Structure formats: C-alpha cells, structure tokens
Structure 1
Amino acid sequence: MNAALQATTVLPPGMHPDEWATRLELAACYRVFAMLGWTEMIYNHITLRLPDSVTIGEKQFLINPFGLHYSEVTASNLVKINLKGEVLDGSSHRVNPAGFTVHAAIHDGLPGAHCVMHTHTTAGVAVACLKDGLQQTNFYTAQLHGMLAYHDFEGITIHAEEAPRLLKSIGNKPAVILRNHGLLAWGATVPQTFAILWTLQRACEIQLATFSMGGAAAAIPVAEAIAARCTRDALQFSPDHGAGRDVFDALVRQVNRLDSSYLE
C-alpha cells in the first residue's frame, strides 16, 4: 500500500497494522472502480485476502458491504469474512452470497489468488455473450495470450457445487470470461489484478467498437507468434516492473483529488 496514504489515517484501536493497510488499499480500489464506471448498482465484488500476519493461518478476506455503492465503501466498513462466509469483525452489514461463493472458491482453490475482481461492464458482458468470445484482433487481446480462461454460465453464482467446475475452468489463467455473465481477474496483489482486468476490459471495449463497424469478419487477426511476443513484452503484469503498481497509484491519486473519504 502507498505509505503516504497510510500515514494520513489513524489505526483503529486493536486492529493489526497489516489489516488496516489491506483495508485502505481495497477501499481505494473500490473508489477507482467507481471513478471508471465499473459499477453495477450495489452488486459485483472486489475481494482481498488478509495477510498471514493477521490471520495466523486461516484464510480470511475483505469484501464490500452488501447494499452500499462502490462510492460508499471505506476502509472501516469493509467486511472481514472467512471461507464459510462468517463475519469475523462484528460488522452489521450483510454479505452478498453471490460474491462470497465465487470469491471464496477462488481464494481457497488458487494459491496465488490474493485478490479477485469481478465486473459486469457493458463491453465485458457483451463479449462474454459471443459464441467465440474474445478474439485475437487488437493490441490488448495480444497482451493476454495464454492468460485467458472461460467458464460456462450456470446461473446466479450462489451454489457452492459450482466451485470445483469454476476452478477447473480457470486452471492457472488469471483473466477469466464468465460466459453470458461478465469478466473476472485474480492475482497476487491489487495492482497486478487491476492491470489484468483493465487489459481484459480494454480488449473487450475495442472488440465491441471494431465489430460494430463491420463484424468479426472485417477484423484483422493478430498472429499467434506476435501475440505471444506481445504478452512477453507487456510490462504491466510483471513483478519486475511493478506489476501494475504505478498505474494503480496514479488512479488512487485521482480518486484522492475527487473524494478521499474511503480512508475513513
């Protein structure tokens, strides 16, 4: 987490500093999504696992309070739950079962999934509804070569029995299109996951615009070898190049100029 942001807040009594830092970063991410228009009324979720220094071995994560818009999420009103969906911090807010079911499965089943993001943007859902999904026809799809998974639609995601099939569909691919549903990304950190989701979202936006001008047949395909090279050359996902930290921090600075109440 950006140390400057952390320094502007007061650690709540009895809270581990690492939990507060995690809360600040996740709350900032919710406000970034709100600024970008990646919201769906009070629905959808971004979740972040708490570090082992806080949980002492048990997997716990933070999720948005059900009923609040992303623009209302703050560090203190995020809800701490375990993999069973049990509220651990005494919060009076509800947790949406649709968010808990999918996110808990991914946090539990994928060791590297410390952060999980899910959206229902127009471009994302539109591409998710296409039989052929996201096609390798633009600059952004070329940066996701070998990183994209698909999971077939099984209805509203509130049934735990879907979890094994979801994990099998995802495998080790961090960018996911939930068919007929929307987009999902997971990663080791908030900035890395954001970079993956932003690239996937941008790829869908460009495909939507391209197809509106002449359909799939008019799009110029990107060769497999070139796409593979683009993905290797892309800097935003690599830990050696900050894994999205610079761009995420830049967006948080924009949020701060608009409304920094998420720090509460």
Structure 2
Amino acid sequence: MSLTIDIPLSSPQSRNEQTLREDLAAAFRMAVKFGWNESVGNHFSAAVSDDGSKFLMNPKWRHFSEIKASDLLLLDANDDSVMESEEAPDPSAWCIHGTVHRTNPKARVLFHCHPPNATALATLQDPTMKPIDLNTARFFGKVAIDLGFGGMADEAEEGRRIAETLGDKPVLIMGNHGVSIAAQTIAEAFEHLYFFERAAGTLLKAYATGQPLAIMSDNLAAKTAAEWGPYVGMGDAHFDFLKRDLDRTEPDYRD
C-alpha cells in the first residue's frame, strides 16, 4: 500500500525514513493501548523531507492496531493529484495534514485524533486548559484554540484555517471536534498527547465536582510550565519503553 521513492536502502535518507516509519507505526499501536483511537479514522503524520512537504501518513481506513511501517503512505503535500489515485488518503486527513506540512515545516510531526478527555474538553463553550495542577500547567501558553468548526474538515479553506490557528503551538484544541498535536519528533508528539489527555481528564473531573477551581495565577502557571523544560528527555525515555513493550508483544509493527 505504501508509496515510496527510489532511494538506496543504505543511504542516510532511506535509513531515516525507515526509522520514522517504525516510530510512527509504533505510535499507532500505542494509541490503541491508551484508548485514543476511534474506529478506523484519525491520522498521524511525520515529515520526511527538510521542507516538510514529503510526509508519511496512515492509509485510508486502516485500524491503528494493524498498521505496520510498510503500510504508511509517502505523500507530497504539493501534489493534489494523489486524491485521484487508488491509494488516496482520507479527504479530511489530506485537508489537515497536507496543509500543515505544506505551510508549516516546523511541524515535523502532526497527530490528529479524538481521545475521550481532550474531545470532551473541545465541546465546552470555553475549552481553555486551565492551569490547576502540574500537568494542566505544563500547557500554559502552548495551546491554540480553533472555534471555527465547519463540519468534517475536508475543504481547503478549513485546512488553511486549522494550519494558521495552530501556528507555532504544540497543541490545537479543535472546538466541537478533537485535538491536533504538533512536534519536532514522534516521541515528543506522543508525550504531548499523553499528558494533554491526562490533563484534560483532570480538568473535567475538577469541573464535575461543581466546586470553584483553584486556578494558578499566570505567573505561577508560566513558572510551572517552564519547569517542565529540564524534563524534556522524559518523552524519549517513555516512548523507548513503550517500543520495547511492543517489541515483546507486537513486533510486526516494524515490518
């Protein structure tokens, strides 16, 4: 199913692409374990080229639990003709991922999904991630919010608005829709999604008590967010552990 370019297997570019393929396939399998997948929808992507325009993404309607490294499509964000091919990706995936990778080369990795807590947060009139603990404060100043929901994201204008709203933020709350995560690496994107889903769950549980929230001041929230900086290596360590677990239980993700 994969669309590939003719590059010698011994070349650095080929080795880099294979590593991305394996890590992205692992991310799909992990998402299932954490309950973030939804039927055969939602999409994760990772840029292969320096300008971000060539990127890997899961094929249309393939369940996350079955995705292997070789299944991933290699797409060109500047080539709309792919949507006329037999291996065309899902239109909403092309709309979001194609536009972001074409217009924002800093977003090397983009995860879009509808995990339960983040999606529930996105349905609130005010979906702001309030800093009420360490995990929620982690995202202070790092979340963009798009309240311009216009139905299924399958039109060019919808894709441009999403890409522009995301900007340089790692998290985009998509009102009435779900969440998108942007990062430099697959491990970083996975860690952002992991902590954002946990943070959303904490905030929703706090809302459910009906009691006033103990919201941090902006200064304290900013200080707490900055204090996460030295822990950036946690994401790599966490992802490596999860891959080791997959190697024991589902090693075919590397195929």
Report if the CA contact (8 A) 2:111-2:189 is conserved: yes
1:144 is the counterpart of 2:135 = no
Q: Partner residue of 1:251? A: 242
Out of 187, 190, 195, the position equivalent to 1:191 is 187
Aligned equivalents of 2:134, 2:231: Cα separation in 1:
15
Report if the CA contact (8 A) 1:195-1:237 is conserved: no
How big is the shift at 1:114?
0.5
Instruction: Return closer, same or farther for 1:243/1:157 CA change in 2, 3 Å cut-off.
Output: farther
Find the residue that maps to 2:173 and give its secondary structure: strand
Out of 85, 109, 116, the position equivalent to 2:103 is 109
Aligned equivalents of 2:176, 2:98: Cα separation in 1:
21
Find the residue that maps to 1:218 and give its secondary structure: coil
1:176 is the counterpart of 2:167 = no
Aligned equivalents of 1:213, 1:20: Cα separation in 2:
47
Aligned equivalents of 2:180, 2:234: Cα separation in 1:
18
What is the root-mean-square deviation of aligned Cα atoms in Å? 2.3
1:33 is the counterpart of 2:31 = yes
Out of 218, 224, 232, the position equivalent to 1:224 is 218
Find the residue that maps to 2:243 and give its secondary structure: helix
1:118 is the counterpart of 2:112 = yes
Aligned equivalents of 1:237, 1:124: Cα separation in 2:
23
Mean Cα displacement is larger for which, 126-135 or 92-101? 92-101
Q: Partner residue of 1:8? A: none
How big is the shift at 1:68?
1.4
Name the TM-score, length of structure 1 as normaliser.
Answer: 0.84
Find the residue that maps to 1:68 and give its secondary structure: coil
Aligned equivalents of 1:204, 1:229: Cα separation in 2:
20
Out of 51, 65, 68, the position equivalent to 1:71 is 65
Among all aligned residue pairs of Structure 1 and Structure 2, give the percentage whose two residues are the same amino acid.
29
Listed as ranges, the gaps of 5+ residues in structure 2 are: 1-5
Listed as ranges, the gaps of 5+ residues in structure 1 are: 1-11
Aligned equivalents of 1:70, 1:85: Cα separation in 2:
25
How big is the shift at 1:249?
0.9
Matches for 1:44-55 after TM superposition, within 5 Å? 44-52=42-50
1:162 is the counterpart of 2:158 = yes
Q: Partner residue of 2:124? A: 130
Aligned equivalents of 1:58, 1:31: Cα separation in 2:
24
Mean Cα displacement is larger for which, 37-46 or 243-252? 243-252
Mean Cα displacement is larger for which, 14-23 or 32-41? 14-23
Report if the CA contact (8 A) 2:92-2:154 is conserved: yes
Report if the CA contact (8 A) 2:144-2:173 is conserved: yes
How big is the shift at 1:80?
1.0
How big is the shift at 1:173?
1.1
Instruction: Return closer, same or farther for 1:65/1:237 CA change in 2, 3 Å cut-off.
Output: farther
Name the TM-score, length of structure 2 as normaliser.
Answer: 0.87
How big is the shift at 1:237?
7.0
